[in-house]
Amino acid sequence: MTDEERFQRWQQWVEEIWKQVADLFVFRHIYKVVRQIVASNPHLRNEPNIFWWWLDYAYATTMLMGLRRLGDRSKEVISLYRLLDDIRNHPKVLSRERYFRFYEPLLKQADAAPDIFSRRVMRDAVVQKANEVFDKLCGRGKPHIDLKVVEEDLKRLDEAMEKVRELADKRLAHYDRKPPKRLPTHKDIDECLDLIGEMLRKYYGLIKGSHIIDLMPTIAYDWTAIFRVPWQWKLTSEQQARLTTLLQKSKRKALTPEEERELEALIDEADAIALAKAEWMAE
């Protein structure tokens, strides 16, 4: 494989890696927003429900397996680890000369300037910018990426992956006879994803010549709207029967303080359903 063929392969790989990472950022965003919705609703936050267990389990499983894929070392896969490992083995492919190709359109614009002075100033500015970016990411004055830079990135990736990989290996991808020694936390997941995002921005810029501004894709519509539309437009049969019983007791002035609070909550829920239905039909 020639250096140019290898570089083109890296360009394909980094695009696929970007898609995987972007998905994980979306998953994290959705999970945290739903959790905020629950926490802000007094009728939900203290209510035990198997749905909350399922939501946490589904999120953790999805994130751990997604991170595991990005850190996979197998030779037949496309992963961030494999990309960095291949760069470590062929650092000269990620050269300053090859990176400068991404600035050729700007250099052509500079050459089209109306006078020699403007052309010189514009070209110098473009070359300076290209050198500054390459120096920052790959090593000052280096003709290609510094091997130490890649090895340090692989080390940091390995350390972050170590905190999430064991559970994914022993309980999600497989069921090992020996349980994991340590369970990852939400903080471990967040830190691992954020580190991967940081590295993706760096190597995407070097390999594709463009920079990812935000790894969290823009969702073009209000996806939380589904939580503002009741899935049923009336109280359940059990709630209706209980409401009738409490209203009858209320007429006889026989409610206990606890039943008074229960009646008030049922009336509030019925009013909220009626209001939501009216607003939905008015849209």
Q: What is the pLDDT along the chain (283 residues), one digit of tens a residue?
A: 899 999 999 999 999 999 999 999 999 999 999 989 888 877 777 778 898 899 999 999 999 999 999 999 999 999 999 999 999 999 999 999 999 999 999 988 888 888 888 889 999 999 999 999 999 999 999 999 999 999 999 999 999 999 998 888 788 887 888 888 888 999 999 999 999 999 999 999 999 998 887 888 889 999 988 887 766 667 788 888 898 899 999 989 888 999 999 999 888 888 877 776 676 666 6
pLDDT at 280: 63
Contact 165, 81 (CB under 8 A): no
Amino acid, single-letter form, for residue 126: V
Question: Global pTM?
Answer: 0.80
pLDDT at 79: 97
pLDDT at 191: 96
